[in-house]
């Protein structure tokens, strides 16, 4: 079933919306959750929560791209579950490495004007990724949105892990410059 029809089912509050969404995007959303959580049961719960959140969000929201809408919900739920699971102990794993890698580019909470909307930052990041060469943008998204490991990314694009690491290091430096130019972080950092 195409996305427009699935969204129409949500808007009519037809329970088939969940079935159709799970059939079309269940594996995709599970992969996102599992990349973050590395726990089958938690990933399944996040996917089920994604369907509930989509149900509650439509209406009033009418997503332009259902796949990305669901990915964003799944990703946010997975990060929330990860943080809840690791509040007392900061364990290892890919997600900790991903967040640590990005930490050098992003300002701390106290450096960012509290008035900035997350949407503005999101639009700025979108512009940044769109301006990258296609492969570099894809590698960046695979690492920092989908939290894929470097070896999975290397295999996907026919690169070595060292190549992926170099691409990501250079892209993070470019991101930091972009965020400085946009005023999200102080140039003195």
CATH of the domain at 174: 1.20.140.160
- Dihedrals φ, ψ of 31, to 5°? -60, -40
**pLDDT of 96:** 59
Within a domain: 187: no
**pLDDT of 116:** 40
Which portions of the chain are predicted below pLDDT 70? Answer: 86-119, 187-189
Taking the C-alpha atoms of residue 113 and residue 105, their distance in angstroms, rounded to an integer, is 16
The per-residue pLDDT for range 10-57, each reduced to its tens digit, is 999 999 999 999 999 999 999 999 998 999 999 999 999 999 999 999
Within a domain: 53: yes
- With H, G, I as helix, E, B as strand and everything else as coil, classify residue 27: helix
Within a domain: 101: yes
**What are the b/e assignments for 11-23, b being 16+ CB within 10 Å?**
eeeeeebbebbbe
**pLDDT of 82:** 83
Dump strand ranges (E) for the chain: none
72 and 104 belong to one structural domain: no
Taking the C-alpha atoms of residue 180 and residue 176, their distance in angstroms, rounded to an integer, is 6
**pLDDT of 182:** 79
Print the domain residue range for 65. Answer: 3-85
Query: Last residue of a domain, which of 40, 60, 85?
Result: 85
**pLDDT of 163:** 96
**pLDDT of 81:** 87
Within a domain: 130: yes
Q: Do the Cβ atoms of 55 and 18 come closer than 8 Å?
A: yes
**pLDDT of 115:** 38
31 and 70 belong to one structural domain: yes
Instruction: Identify the CATH number of the domain in which residue 74 sits.
Output: 1.10.1740.10
Say which DSSP state 18 is in: H
């Amino acid at each position: 079933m195409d996305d427009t029809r699935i969204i129409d089912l949500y808007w009519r509050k037809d329970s088939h919306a969940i079935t159709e969404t799970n059939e079309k995007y269940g594996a995709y959303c599970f992969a996102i959750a599992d990349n973050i959580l590395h726990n089958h049961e938690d990933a399944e719960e996040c996917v089920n929560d994604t369907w509930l959140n989509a149900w509650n969000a439509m209406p009033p929201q009418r997503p332009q791209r259902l796949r990305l809408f669901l990915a964003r919900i799944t990703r946010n739920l997975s990060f929330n579950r990860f943080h809840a699971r690791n509040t007392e102990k900061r364990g290892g794993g890919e997600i900790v490495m991903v967040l640590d890698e990005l930490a050098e580019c992003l300002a701390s909470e106290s450096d960012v004007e509290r008035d900035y909307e997350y949407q503005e930052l999101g639009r700025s990041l979108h512009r940044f990724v769109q301006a990258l060469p296609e492969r570099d943008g894809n590698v960046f998204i695979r690492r920092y949105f989908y939290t894929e490991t470097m070896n999975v990314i290397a295999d996907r694009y026919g690169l070595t892990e060292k190549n992926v690491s170099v691409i990501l290091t250079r892209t993070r430096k470019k991101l930091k410059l972009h965020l400085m130019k946009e005023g999200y972080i102080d140039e003195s950092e």
